[in-house]
Chains A and B, each alone.
Chain A
Amino acid sequence: MSMAEPAPPARPTTQPPEAPIAATGKPIEMLSRADSQRLEQRRRGRNWAILAVLAGVIVLFYAITIVKMHR
């Protein structure tokens, strides 16, 4: 008797039994709740990073303006 193959890694997407059908005729793949939460968390982190960069750019332009005005 051969050894059972190890289970394949869980796919990042799951397809419910009654998946909605796209206009192309293919079933639409749905994200699992865990994947959805993970994505949302990552996107929130990215938004905060963009906010920090924008704030940095504002400070930089302000500092350049002040220095240039006093020269």
Chain B
Amino acid sequence: MSEPAVPVAAPLAEAFLPGESVLADWVILLKPRVLTLVVFTGLIGMLVAPGHLHPVLALAAILSITVAAGAAGAINMWYDRDIDAVMRRTRSRPVPAGRIAADEALAFGVTLAAASVIVMGLATNLVAAALLALSIGFYVFVYTVWLKRRTPQNIVIGGAAGAFPPLIGWAAATGSVSAVPLVLFAIIFFWTPPHFWTLALFANADYQRAGVPMLPVVAGGRETRRQIMLYTLVLVPLSLAPWAMGFSGPVYGLAALALGGAFLWHALRVLRDRQDAAGTSLTGDAPAKAAFRYSILYLFVLFGALAVDRLVG
């Protein structure tokens, strides 16, 4: 890989000596904010599965999912260091800021990825280990390398990588994959576009500067708002599927209904946001920001309700 093409990060890089990273930099490399949702959905997949897993093995499985997601994030930061240096949101990350050398970040990510798959295989079963390896490969090769810089469908198809954790958690507990974890996979898959496109709406300038073809950059704000609504319209009925399939009870069903209703309300606010002819928000993208925050809460509470329903109901 060539060095970052854009010199924006150069003044930052000069402020550090090689190897001057601190522990926090290596933690940042794992994208800890993304990890929480990944770990949570993986844990729920494991908890609601019919099988039983010894607590130590369950802990090892969750650790593997965590480390694998972090490893994929580190490899992503290595690959994206040139565009990270240009975007305000990401330019202080350890690699573009020069606190961690690019090669070190790559080695760190690859080592952790391999270790996580091995531990998952030893602690649980080959199905879970294979799914874990597939999720890492999907995030790195399909999303990061192939799609992210090429198509506005990057986070639609690439979103599958983030939908793997409940499938892996389920497989860790049962050694197989059935319809229910596939529905959980689908829920996260259809949740991802509204989640990322609301972010892309208010971070549009950043993505434009970096040349990342997010939907608002390529198709404009108006079309993005329409797509957010369409995906939300698919997501809400889909979120009721575990209830309709008889896998969960009314606790989950009612929670999914209420949460889905609120999500639709947010999507509608985004759709009807005051905008100019070019689709640029005249409200500072306030509805998109609110919808983005709500989407995170939505997934946490939805999966939490599923666990409560299964474990208490």
Contacts and interface: CB of A to CB of B under 8 A. Distances in A.
A64 B60 contact: yes
B25 to A, nearest CB: 10
Nearest to B118: A61
B122 interface: yes
A71 B22 CA distance: 41
Nearest to A71: B54
B56 A64 contact: yes
Interface stretch (B13-21, B183-191, B244-252, B288-296): B13-21
Contacts of A39: 17, 19-20
Interface residues of A, number: 20
B22 A45 contact: yes
Interface of B: 14-17, 19-23, 26, 54, 56-57, 60, 63, 115, 119, 122-123
A48 B21 CA distance: 14
Interface in A21-71: 31, 35, 38-39, 42-43, 45-46, 49, 57, 60-61, 63-64, 66-68, 71
A60 B54 contact: no
Contact of A43 (B19, B63, B115): B19
15 contacts: A12-B14, A12-B16, A31-B17, A39-B17, A39-B19, A42-B21, A49-B26, A64-B56, A64-B57, A64-B60, A64-B119, A64-B123, A66-B56, A67-B54, A67-B57
A35 B23 contact: no
Contacts of B56: 63-64, 66-67
Grouping DSSP codes into helix (H, G, I), strand (E, B) and loop, the A interface class, with mixed when no group exceeds half, is helix
B17 A60 contact: no
Chain B contact residues: over half helix, strand or loop, or mixed? helix
A45 B23 contact: yes
Nearest to B122: A64
B94 to A, nearest CB: 13
B60 A42 contact: no
Contacts of B14: 12
Contacts of A57: 115
> What 5 pairs across the A-B complex have the smallest Cβ distances?
A67-B56, A63-B56, A64-B123, A67-B54, A12-B17
A42 B63 contact: no
Nearest to B18: A39
Nearest to B23: A49
Contacts of A43: 19
A32 B48 CA distance: 58
Contacts of A35: 17
A35 B63 CA distance: 37
Contacts of B22: 42, 45
Contacts of B119: 60, 64
A62 to B, nearest CB: 10
B119 to A, nearest CB: 7
A40 B102 CA distance: 21
A46 B23 contact: yes
Nearest to A31: B17
B23 A60 contact: no
Contacts of B122: 61, 64, 68
A40 to B, nearest CB: 10
Contacts of A46: 21, 23
Nearest to A35: B17
Contacts of A13: 17
A71 B19 CA distance: 45
